[in-house]
Amino acid sequence: MPLTGNLRGIVAMLAAMAMFACMDALLKALAGTYPPLQVTALRGLTALPLVCLYVVWRREVSAVFSRQLRWRLHLLRAFFSVTMMATFTYGLKTLGLAEAYTLAFVAPFILTLLSVPILGEVVRARHWFAILVGLAGVVVAMRPEQGALVSVGALAVLLAAVCYASSNVVGRLISRTEPSATLVFWTTVSMALGGGILGAANWVEIQAAHWLILLGLAVTGFLGQLAITEAFRHGQAALIAPFEYSALAWAVGLDWIFWQMAPQAHTLLGGAIIIASGLYLVRRETPRIAAPVQP
């Protein structure tokens, strides 16, 4: 049976977090060599060929360049996307991964706040409970250093989280009248053009050793953007937002595979809290989780 409604949104969110966790690891590898705006441009430029092939394969070229596009919303989302990528890359350069992830995970809470007045969604008490418990689990798992949370890098990551949540809310508005291909295409183009134009003055020559990283950035960025668009297209924002915390599990796995870093006790405890919050929400939503969301 094909996945529909909120269930489809949850599965897409889990896939998106897997891709974005891998992308974050690649971004951190580039952040020490290239300026944040250049990394933003490279994120868009490397993924753009894949996005174009996807649009052609879906036979949605006419939809992508339609005169009926909601250009004001696309431009607003472009602003949020470019700002998000640049500020988060700067945060990864100046902060430890624990501090950056802890601050970035306030995005689901911000997303839920915005979904009420902008999307008109009804946020139940259990949604708030699951999000707050999941955020507490992230803090327990990452155990950030208190001093690092008041730095310029911390403020940059916090701004990135606000832009990320805002971008997804605007994307949900666009997806009510346009296919996913338009969001994926114009978001990618905005990163390539916005980052390229704004970062041209400080552009650094690409090192040959980084081309493989850029290839990985293209694939993970493209698949992650596609999955996150599908998630917010089919699922209720407040319901699927807690599943963004699943990125923590992928971070632990990547540490183990590439750096042989075993998770510490506090990481396992925080992960258990996060998983429990998601399972609680799924259990409470079981009677309606497969129902399609009506605009």
Write out the DSSP string of 116-131.
TTTT-----HHHHHHH
Domain assignment of residue 200, yes or no: yes
Angle of helix 97-104 versus helix 125-142 axis, rounded to 10? 170
Minimum mean pLDDT among 2-6, 160-164, 273-277: which range? 2-6
CA-based angle 11:240:123, to the nearest 5?
Answer: 155
Q: How high is the pLDDT of residue 290?
A: 43
Other C-beta atoms within 10 Å of 110: how many? 20
Check the CA dihedral 162-167-168-173 and report its sign. positive
Indicate whether 184 belongs to any domain. yes
> What average pLDDT does the structure give for the chain?
80
Six token digits for residue 226: 């596609």
Q: What is the pTM of this model?
A: 0.76
Q: How far apart are the first and last CA of the chain?
A: 23
Distance CA 238, CA 108 (A): 8
- Angle at which helix 97-104 crosses helix 247-259, to 10 degrees, equals 160
* Residue 96 forms part of a structural domain: yes
Q: Kindly state whether residue 294 falls inside one of the protein's structural domains.
A: no
Is 50 a domain residue?
yes
Tokens 């409470």 locate to 284
**Mean predicted confidence (pLDDT) in 255-262:** 70
What is the extent of the structural domain holding 129?
A: 5-285
Quick check: 12 and 230 in contact, CB under 8 A? Answer: yes
Rounded-to-integer distance, Cα 222 and Cα 265, Å:
34
Mean pLDDT of all residues in 199-213:
91
Which range, 220-224, 228-232, 253-257, has the best average confidence (pLDDT)? Answer: 220-224
> Of the ranges 66-80, 107-121, 161-175, 201-215, which one carries the lowest mean pLDDT score?
107-121
220, part of any domain:
yes
Tokens of 177: 């009248």
Helix (H) / strand (E) element for 253: namely: helix 247-259
Q: What is the dihedral sign for C-alpha 188, 203, 86, 21?
A: positive
The pLDDT of residue 34: 92
Q: How many domains does the chain have?
A: 1
Asked if residue 291 belongs to a domain, the reply is: no
Provide the CA 3 distance to its chain's centre, in angstroms. 22
Contacts of 57 (CB under 8 A, 6+ apart): none
